[in-house]
């Protein structure tokens, strides 16, 4: 199954995608992760996007569509693709449809993770991830263990995203409402939209998503 996880920053897309990778052998395609990698390794494209990302604005459709195009040719056997943070504009959604068709693939569901804005600000400014495996922590709801070791891999380095601050978050939220939220109507009209409560506990959201995938 190939699915899109759709929702504003902090909705829990990355956390849920990681769980699906572990339990269903799916492949997570996070354009945010790909862009951060490009930025950290200092590629030309990484340098171009660094400033845009720091502000919380969207990088160009051309760049992210190019990144996804490369990944879709992956012919190794897996449980399907999870698009995480992509598409974010109507042009990206159209392009994804075309790319999938060209690869003989289908998009099976679009899962909207619904959350309210106040919860997002709290979640984002409190989040950190394990530098080794990417496990997500939250200062309030899932703090880094007292022994300083990641529960998933034992790693001891944790990092916070540079754009997880209130200023960038305002721009990211605005980008979501202006450019990405129209995708809710787009996929509803295609009869592909499923909505889950992103404010529920992590394991409850996992169960709701499993319900969609197993239907």
Query: Applying CB under 6 A, what is the total number of residues that bind ligand AMP?
Result: 17
* Interactions with ligand AMP, residue window 141-170 (CB under 6 A): 163
Tokens of 10: 């902090």
Active-site annotation holds for 36: no
Selected binder of ligand AMP within 9, 12, 134, 198 (CB under 6 A): 9
Tokens of 155: 């790693």
Strands (E), the chain: 3-6, 27-30, 81-84, 109-114, 127-130, 136-138, 158-159, 193-197
* Interactions with ligand AMP, residue window 51-110 (CB under 6 A): 52-53, 56-59, 64, 85-86, 88, 92
154 CB neighbour count, 10 Å cutoff: 11
Q: Is the peptide bond before 160 cis (omega within 30 degrees of 0)?
A: no
For the CB of residue 128, give the shortest distance to ligand AMP in the complex, in Å: 14
Active-site annotation holds for 123: no
Tokens of 199: 């404010």
Residue with Cβ nearer ligand AMP (62 or 149): 62
Active-site annotation holds for 75: no
Q: Which residues bind ligand AMP (CB under 6 A)?
A: 9, 31-32, 35, 52-53, 56-59, 64, 85-86, 88, 92, 163, 172
């Amino acid at each position: 199954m190939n699915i899109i996880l759709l929702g504003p920053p902090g909705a829990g897309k990355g956390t849920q995608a990681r769980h699906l990778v572990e339990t269903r052998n799916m492949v997570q395609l996070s354009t945010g992760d790909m862009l951060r990698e490009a930025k950290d390794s200092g590629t030309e494209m990484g340098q171009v996007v660094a400033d845009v990302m720091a502000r919380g604005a969207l990088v160009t459709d051309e760049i992210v569509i190019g990144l996804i195009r490369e990944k879709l040719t992956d012919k190794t056997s897996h449980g399907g693709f999870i698009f995480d943070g992509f598409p974010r504009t109507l042009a990206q959604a159209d392009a994804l449809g075309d790319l999938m068709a060209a690869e003989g693939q289908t998009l099976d569901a679009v899962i909207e993770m619904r959350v309210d804005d106040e919860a997002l600000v709290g979640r984002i400014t409190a989040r950190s991830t394990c530098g080794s495996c990417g496990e997500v922590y939250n200062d309030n709801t899932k703090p880094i263990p007292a022994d300083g070791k990641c529960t998933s891999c034992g790693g001891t380095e944790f990092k916070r995203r540079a754009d997880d601050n209130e200023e960038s978050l305002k721009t990211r939220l605005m980008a979501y409402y202006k450019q990405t939220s129209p995708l809710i109507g787009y996929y509803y009209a295609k009869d592909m939209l499923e909505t889950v409560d992103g404010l529920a506990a992590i394991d409850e959201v996992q169960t709701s998503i499993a319900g969609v995938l197993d239907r």
